Structure 1
Amino acid sequence: MSGAGRRRSRVVIGVDFTSAPRARKPLTVATGRLVAGARAAVYRLDAIRELTTLAEFDALLREPGDWLGGFDLPFGQPRPLIEHEGWPTDWQRFVRFYCGQPRESLRAVFRRWCAGRPAGDKFAWRKADKPAGSSPAMRWTNPPVAWMMHAGIGRMLDAGLSFPAHRVAGRGEARHRIALEAYPGFTARQVCRRSYKSDTPAMQTAERRANRRLILDALVAGEAGLDVRLDVSAAVARRMIGDGAGDLLDAAICGLQAAHASLQHRYGFPRDLDPLEGWIATVPVP
């Protein structure tokens, strides 16, 4: 039985990742504990911090202590693309290969793939992407999730983390730091199908603010399709609602998704899980 079922708490982090963190667009980390509640498991959010460099992200991954983490970046690319290009099909070898390639080379591969396919079917997709409603992992612009993977997953592998969706046990003390791929948009859409965030200040409207409040209220009430509800202070809740970019809310959702997955058998992965592609936490098997 998982941590909450044993009446023990477990540290859970949620990471809203960006490939180029800076003061105006930091990498956002939610930290809390998964504990048993009277009627349901609870993710008690302790803190949210903002990292402005990838070096700070490296340091986060190596901080002492065990945790479970939900990270909003692709952990893999579509198998059809990988096999078409003759890239390594062992996940660890593929990560080393992919993160070692110049972006220009990868961009050329992506463009060549898309150029040879009809409108409406340009991209290759992982098995989890369409059920999640996420962008294809090979997308290099708007949003540039391919570069998020390029900047982040190699660092995570170097840190010795465990990746259960890829059947990789970690190294040394870091083996008890467990990384799951998260996608906050999936959970947010269980509550509200309307936009709740924008990186453009002029588009950070009152309507989007109201949508963030709606989503947060559902997370706190345990009405967002998860087996875990959110416990957050009034002060942090105000920050989440006021954050027009949605980064604080997204980081908390990443933590919630990881917490929910930890309560499922085999993290809720499909029986025919492809360890090259992995899976996104909380996304149901089609």
Structure 2
Amino acid sequence: MAADAPLPLVGCDFSSSPSRRKPIVLAWGRQDPGRVLLERIETLDTLEAFAGWAAAPGHWLGGFDVPFGLPRELVEHLGWPREWRACIEHYARLSRSEIRDTFAAFCAVRPAGAKFAHRAFDKRAGSSPSMKWVNPPVAYMLHAAVPPLLRAGVHFPGLHEGDPRRVALEAYPGLLARELIGRRSYKNDDKAKHTPERLIARKDLVTALENGQTRLGLRLKLSNAQRDALAADGSGDRLDAVLCLVQAAWAQRQGAPRWGLPEALDPLEGWILTA
């Protein structure tokens, strides 16, 4: 790979409990002027496979549907380290049950409507608080995904200096999906809820991506087979990975060293691309 060649792009839809039925999905692509070309979809069935992929030699710029940080309010209340790497390393040493019990105790003494602590940009992005352990369990996603990326020496812009040829950015497919189809539901893990209405919503979302109907100024380039496969996946996992891929492509257009992240981001909480 030439030293000045753009990094390959990857969008990751992550699962904290991956399986063959619901794997971690990687959407690989590259950028042409004004277009994002989807090249292939890769799936990983275990957390060990994800850690192995993260540690493998390679070059990529990735958008990950995983929170990269915890709310500062929560961290300070718990007396955890306020430096990002130390905080993540402390968090990695906890079990999921310890995380659940600690966060549940934090929420229990707070008033209704303000149970969870939020990061500065959560409301702007419409994202779940990163301390939430159910529906969706994003706290467990952080616990499962970020420590192996950190151990692998990956670069987290604004948070931790690492390998500049493997760059990880926090993405959120829901932010881009809402821009294109509003609040329409387009996915569900329950096959019984794979309705015609959700299929139409996925098709509309794919069409909008292909037509470049976003503020990101990018059009998605798909083959007919890719288009059909994205629409057919009722779980939406492959489509979410592609949405993260498009957000990563936007970051690539903004360029290093910030990759589109604001100068004022909190170095403990991080930031969601395009928020």
**TM-score, normalised to structure 1's length?**
0.91
Report the equivalent of 2:100: 107
Following superposition of structure 1 onto structure 2, how do residues 140-179 of structure 1 map, counting pairs within 5 Å? Answer: 140-166=133-159, 168-170=160-162, 174-179=163-168
Q: Of 164, 172, 175, which aligns to 1:186?
A: 175
Alignment of 1:203-222 (within 5 A): 203-222=193-212
Q: CA deviation at 1:281?
A: 0.6
Tell me the amino acid that sits aligned with residue 22 of structure 2. Answer: K
Partner Cα separation in structure 1 for residue 53 and residue 110 of structure 2: 41
- Following TM superposition, by how much is the alpha carbon of 1:31 offset from its aligned partner in structure 2, in angstroms? 0.4
Distance 1:256 1:169 in 2: 24
1:207-229 Cα offsets, whole Å, 9 max, x none, are: 00100111111111110222222
Matched with 1:15 is: 12
Q: Runs of 4 or more off by more than 6 Å in structure 1?
A: none
Count of paired positions: 269
For residue 3 of structure 1, what is the aligned residue in structure 2? none
Following the alignment from structure 1 to structure 2, what is the Cα–Cα distance between the partners of residues 239 and 135?
28
Residue segments in structure 2 that go unaligned for 5+ positions in a row: none
Which position in structure 1 is the counterpart of 2:114? Answer: 121
Aligned mates of 2:65, 2:228 — CA distance in 1: 22
Cα-to-partner distance string for 1:59-94 (whole Å, 9 max, x where unaligned): 221333311000011101000000011000110111
Asked if 1:134 corresponds to 2:127, the answer is: yes
Instruction: Tell me how far apart the structure 1 counterparts of residues 212 and 272 of structure 2 sit (CA, whole Å).
Output: 20
| Larger displacement relative to structure 2 (175-184 or 54-63) | 54-63
Root-mean-square deviation (CA, aligned residues, Å) is: 1.4
Deviates more, 1:54-63 or 1:181-190: 54-63
Tell me, yes or no, if the aligned pair for 2:7 and 2:165 is still in contact at 8 Å: no
**Structure 1: any 5+ residue segments left out of the alignment?**
1-5
Looking at structure 1, the residues matched to 72 and 122 of structure 2 have their Cα atoms a distance apart, in angstroms, of 12
Distance of 1:84 and 1:218 partners within structure 2: 43
Measured in 1, the distance between the counterparts of 2:84 and 2:264 equals 16
Structure 1 stretch 268-277 or stretch 250-259: which is displaced more?
A: 268-277
Match of 2:212, as an amino acid?
G
**8 Å CA contact 1:9, 1:35 repeated in 2:** no
Query: How far apart in 2 are the matches of 1:108 and 1:59?
Result: 30
Alignment of 1:91 onto 2:88: no
Q: CA deviation at 1:97?
A: 0.4
1:186 aligned partner, one-letter code: L
Query: Which residue in the other structure is 2:66 paired with?
Result: 73
CA distance in 2, matches of 1:218, 1:52: 30
User: Does 2:42 correspond to 1:42?
Assistant: no
Structure 1 residue 9, shift from structure 2 partner: 4.6
Structure 1 distance, partners of 2:261, 2:171, is 13
1:262 aligns with: 252
**2:57 match: secondary structure:** coil
Counterpart CA distance in 2 for 1:115 and 1:129 is: 21
1:241 aligns with 2:231: yes
The answer as to 2:53 corresponding to 1:64 is: no
Give the equivalent residue in structure 1 for 2:270: 278
